[in-house]
Amino acid sequence: MLVVLNHPEEGPGTLKEMLTSLGFDVKEKHGRELTGKEDPDDLVVMGGPMGVYEAEKYPFLIKEVNLIRRALSEGRLVLGICLGSQLLSFALGGDVRKGSFGTELGVGKVKLLDEFKERIGDEVEVFHFHGDTFTIPMGASLLAYSDKYFQAFYAGKALGLQFHVEVDGRMIKRWAETYGLDTKLVEEVKEREEEFRSTASIILKTWLERSGR
């Protein structure tokens, strides 16, 4: 399983350990290092501070979109988180733009639908850090939403998550230092690490079961 990074501080976090325990051989690679010839068994695309619409400034995003499309066409698993979910939506014909309701930042609740609702409940706390949003591509199914934006969708074996559940206090501390965030967010996440871990585990297992894995 190839995990594509778009910023060195925005890695797979707790998901790496979970995916490894589920039998995946997880390898990481920054988007800038993509050659266009990668052929991973499965694909995860992580977040980053850039926008899908900034491909001229960050041309490796085009390689990521092509990699996502190829993985989808070959029936591979694809997971997109934050920017990764936006790239997934775009790869499937969706639209990505700056959010009309401003940035979502910090711990917040999202409302859940379908399998997520069955496994987790009506709503769950997650970590938000995004100012862009996506449309739900044709043929995809909405799985979660907040008061401001769409938050998750399924499309075949692909899953897009706008929010973060892979984070822990150490990761948010690095984000606070890198992006100048309020350090209070570190404690907010530390208090919820086990909850986030549990939510991430359920989401992963639900996605894999739905995809026949």
- Decide: helix, strand or coil at residue 209: helix
Structure token pair of residue 155: 């499309």
pTM value is: 0.96
Decide which of 3.30.365.10, 2.40.10.10, 3.40.50.880, 3.40.50.300 is the CATH code for 2-210: 3.40.50.880
Domain residue spans of the chain: 2-210
Strand (E) or helix (H) holding 5: strand 2-5
Question: pLDDT tens-digit profile of 41-81?
Answer: 999 999 999 999 999 999 999 999 999 999 999 999 999 99
Give me the residues paired with residue 23 across strands.
none
Q: Where are the alpha helices (DSSP H) in the chain?
A: 14-21, 60-73, 83-91, 114-120, 169-179, 184-190, 193-210
Does position 10 have pLDDT exceeding 90, yes or no?
yes
Output the CA torsion sign for 55, 200, 93, 72: positive
Does position 212 have pLDDT exceeding 90, yes or no?
no
The arithmetic mean of pLDDT across residues 185-200, rounded, is 97
The candidate with the shortest Cα–Cα distance to 126, out of 152, 148, 107, is: 107
Cα–Cα distance for residue pair 40/9, rounded to 1 Å? 22
Cα–Cα distance for residue pair 181/94, rounded to 1 Å? 30
Question: pLDDT tens-digit profile of 112-145?
Answer: 999 999 999 999 999 999 999 999 999 999 999 9
For 70, other C-beta atoms within 10 Å of its C-beta total 17
Does position 24 have pLDDT exceeding 90, yes or no?
yes
Cα–Cα distance for residue pair 22/25, rounded to 1 Å? 9
Cα–Cα distance for residue pair 181/105, rounded to 1 Å? 9
The arithmetic mean of pLDDT across residues 13-34, rounded, is 96
Does position 178 have pLDDT exceeding 90, yes or no?
yes
The pLDDT, as a whole number, for residue 213 is 83
pLDDT, averaged across the chain: 97
Structure token pair of residue 17: 């350990």
